[in-house]
A and B are shown apart, each in its own frame.
Chain A
Amino acid sequence: MRLLYRAGLGLITAVALLLVLFPFYWAFLNSIKRPEETFQPSWIPFLQFQPTLEHWRSQLATPEIRHALLNSTIISIGAATLALLLGTLAAYALARFRFNRPSNGALTTWFISQRVLPPVIFITPFFLLMRQFKLLDSVWALVLLNATFTLPFAVIILSQTFRELPRELEEAALVDGASYFQSFFWIVLPLALPGLAATWVICMAFSWNEFLFALSLTSQSAIPMPVIIAGAEHTRGVQFWFVGVNVLMTMLVPIVLALLAQRYIIRGLTLGFLKG
């Protein structure tokens, strides 16, 4: 009976893992199949079909795609850095100082509540404002927007991180005559480095994946990877082999980033409610 239970559990786990992993494998298969083979239900390279790296080579040589990869890199690094910079300062304030009216709790809730706003509200105001400021089709507009939308997340995660740091070192430094800034720079930041790195990386992954504003505010020179994927179908029809390459290329970056920050993921996903 017990054995049966364990076997059932193993089976359920295996099926669940297979369901999660199979789509990635399918994208990989499509990316190494010859075009005419992508419409065949063949599963095993070498045995059922001869794999080719042709599509990877041709996609990586396409100027639009290289440019989009570059744009995505600028947008995600820029946005994450900006969010981290602003977020670190605010998080430290929330973790170490007492505010009255609004209180620390009210401020925290205010930051969290930004995550509730449906992004679609902002299409119109951002489009009109960016047009006014001549920032349409600019990577900097997307840096700014993604920094804005990842900032609340950074504030919440980092204020948790700071609260968990021992206070004695900071207090000793202050007693010895260090300023708040000195103790912040030389004591707090080095201690919080793992949390800072994880937050930066998760903000980068979020910004890399962002699609709605990228689609609304770019037209040519600022187009990042998610928009490139979306454009492929309408101009050339769905070409499964190129879809395979592009999909994997785009997903790889945020997935690797998320795995690097694995320890902080649960906390991040619950907006700091749960340590995990």
Chain B
Amino acid sequence: MDSASDNRRPPDYEADPKAAPSKTRTDRTKYFFIGPAVVWILAFTIFPLFYALYTTLYSYRYGQRFGFVGLENFARLFADSNLLSSLRITLIFVVGTVAAEMVLGVALALLLNREIRGSNVIRGIATLPLFATPVAVGYLAITLYYERNGPVNSLIRALGGEDIPWLSDPFWALVAVILVDIWQWTPFVFLIALAGLQSLPSELYDAAKVDGASSVQNFRFLTLPLLAPLLWLILLLRMVEAFRVFDIPVSLTLGGPGRATEVYSLYTYRTAMRFFDHGYAAAQGILLLVIVMLIVTVIFSRVRGLYEEER
């Protein structure tokens, strides 16, 4: 990462003594500039993180600290079948949404990369779902999935299918939540992949044309390798985001029916805010962090390349 920074940075004042004020003055100034943000994050992110870790050592009843229990809150994690089921639901959600979003988003970007006319309008429209308040999207989806006369079932009926019990059947409820996430985040993959495609050097494609490459060969041997680091980055960002899913299941299904859509964050939220079992909730949070960190570490090694080459 260190060498990356040097590539990305223009030469600074200290490298150019003519322009540089004295060393101590520069030193003082640079810490003045960066200090507040660093202190802020130490105080409001790193400290709470350690406070969460400290909280796991205690048992809580009705929100009051009750006694030191050591690592017992962590031991409870592995004996809690509801937690494991919420982890399973979250994994299904992550794999389902991210796979569909990557395929759809990249496919659309490849298709529309040629079409220049109206691309600003298309990009503007693709921005809409990304910034639509997720809770609001969830509630809006209730009206779309309305089982008797809602537009989704109306469409399915018009196509000759049967009404789907979107929100009352455990299987379909999870599908419903996944579909809403796909609606909201496919544009994200699309927008980034499109921007990536448009930043590819056109000379390479001209050369490939001279050599008589087919469009399939172009894709396989030029586009895909050039785009690979960016695709890994999109995958990373989407997975990190998908693991924290909360808003849509809360608003669309409230975790139900039963526990069919009770994702990890919702389970932890309920542990903390409904049962006020803070020590255990904190332990759940830490477990989720560990899971996400493992995935990030695996993928980040592939993203690093992009970080170093781009500028």
State the A residues within 8 Å of B (CB): 9, 12-13, 16-17, 19-24, 26-27, 30, 38-41, 86-87, 89-90, 92-99, 103-109, 111, 114-129, 144-145, 147-148, 151-152, 155, 163, 167, 171, 174-175, 179-181, 205, 208-209, 211-212, 215-216, 225-226, 229-230, 232-233, 238, 240, 243-244, 246-247, 250-251, 254-255, 257-259, 262, 265-266, 269-271, 273-276
Contact = CB atoms under 8 A, between A and B. Distances in A.
Interface of B: 1-6, 8-10, 12-16, 18-21, 25-26, 29-30, 32-34, 36-38, 40-41, 44-45, 48-49, 51-52, 55, 108, 111-112, 115, 122-137, 139-144, 146, 148-151, 154, 183, 187-188, 191-192, 195-196, 199, 230, 233-234, 237, 240, 243-244, 246-247, 250-251, 264-265, 268-269, 272-273, 278, 281-282, 284-286, 288-289, 292-293, 296, 306-307, 310
A234 to B, nearest CB: 8
Nearest to A232: B139
A226 B129 contact: no
The 7 closest A-B pairs by CB, nearest first: A105-B5, A121-B285, A90-B37, A93-B33, A93-B34, A97-B30, A258-B131
Contacts of A269: 130, 188, 191-192, 237
A129 B307 contact: no
Contacts, number: 315
A143 B158 CA distance: 48
Of the candidates A19, A145, A167, A209, the one having the most CB atoms from chain B within 10 angstroms of its own CB is: A209
Contacts of B244: 118-120
A125 B282 contact: yes
B142 A238 contact: yes
Contacts of B9: 95, 98, 104, 163
Contacts of A12: 108, 111
Q: Chain B at the A interface: mostly helix, strand, loop or mixed?
A: helix
Given A211-B250, A215-B273, A255-B131, 20 more contacts: A39-B149, A90-B34, A97-B14, A97-B26, A103-B1, A105-B1, A107-B34, A114-B41, A114-B45, A116-B240, A117-B289, A118-B292, A120-B265, A120-B288, A121-B286, A122-B49, A123-B268, A123-B285, A124-B285, A257-B131
A144 B1 contact: no
Contacts of B284: 120
Contacts of A120: 244, 246, 264-265, 268-269, 284-285, 288
Given A86-B40, A211-B135, A99 B34 contact: yes
A57 B300 CA distance: 50
Contact of A243 (B34, B140, B199, B289): B140
A233 B30 CA distance: 51
Contact of A9 (B30, B115, B246): B115
10 contacts: A16-B108, A23-B144, A26-B151, A118-B285, A118-B288, A125-B282, A180-B25, A226-B247, A265-B130, A270-B233
Contacts of B144: 23, 26
B187 A229 contact: no
Nearest to B114: A9
Given A22-B151, A122-B285, A258 B265 contact: no
